Amino acid sequence: MRNSYFALARFVVSFSLIYPVICTTTFAGTFAPTPEQYATMSQSCEEAGDTFDKDTFGKLKRIRILDTYFYLIGDTYYESALVEAYRAPVARRWTDGVVRFRFTTDVQPEHRSIWRDAVHQWTEDTCVTFLELGADDNETHPELLTVSYSYVSGLSNSSIGAGPSAWMYIQRQHWCTRMIRHEMGHVLGMLHEHQRDDRAGFIDVFEQNCSSRHLPNVKMLCPTVNASAYDFESVMHYSAQQTAINGRDVLRPKPEYMSYYDRMGELPCVSDLDRVAIRREYCMKEAEAGLDAGASTPCSHE
Ligand SMILES: [Zn+2]
| pLDDT tens-digit readout, 258-283 | 999 999 999 989 999 999 999 999 99
pLDDT at 23 over 60: no
Domain at 62-187, CATH homologous superfamily: Collagenase (Catalytic Domain) (3.40.390.10)
In DSSP terms, 62 is beta-bridged to 71
> How many A from CA of 197 to the centre of ligand 1?
16
Amino acid identity of residue 117, one-letter, is D
Most confident of 8-17, 183-192, 206-215, 216-225: 183-192
Q: Do residues 278 and 122 lie in contact, with contact meaning Cβ atoms separated by under 8 Å? A: yes
pLDDT at 220 over 60: yes
> How many A from CA of 298 to the centre of ligand 1?
23
Stated pTM of the model? 0.84
**In this prediction, what percent of the chain has a pLDDT beyond 70?**
79
> How many A from CA of 221 to the centre of ligand 1?
13
> How many A from CA of 187 to the centre of ligand 1?
10
- The upper half-sphere exposure of residue 70, i.e. CA atoms within 13 Å in the direction of its Cβ, equals 24
Calculate the alpha carbon distances from 227 to 94, 127, 151 in Å. Answer: 16, 16, 34
pLDDT confidence of residue 74: 84
> How many A from CA of 138 to the centre of ligand 1?
29
> How many A from CA of 75 to the centre of ligand 1?
5
Nearest to 104 by CA among 160, 162, 144, 153: 144
DSSP summary character for residue 220: B
- 86-118 residue pLDDT tens: 888 899 999 999 999 999 999 999 999 999 999
Domain edges within the chain: 3-54+191-287, 62-187
DSSP labels for 91-113? -PPPGGGEEEEEE-TT--HHHHH
Centre a 10 Å sphere on the Cβ of residue 148 and count the other Cβ atoms it contains.
17
> How many A from CA of 179 to the centre of ligand 1?
8
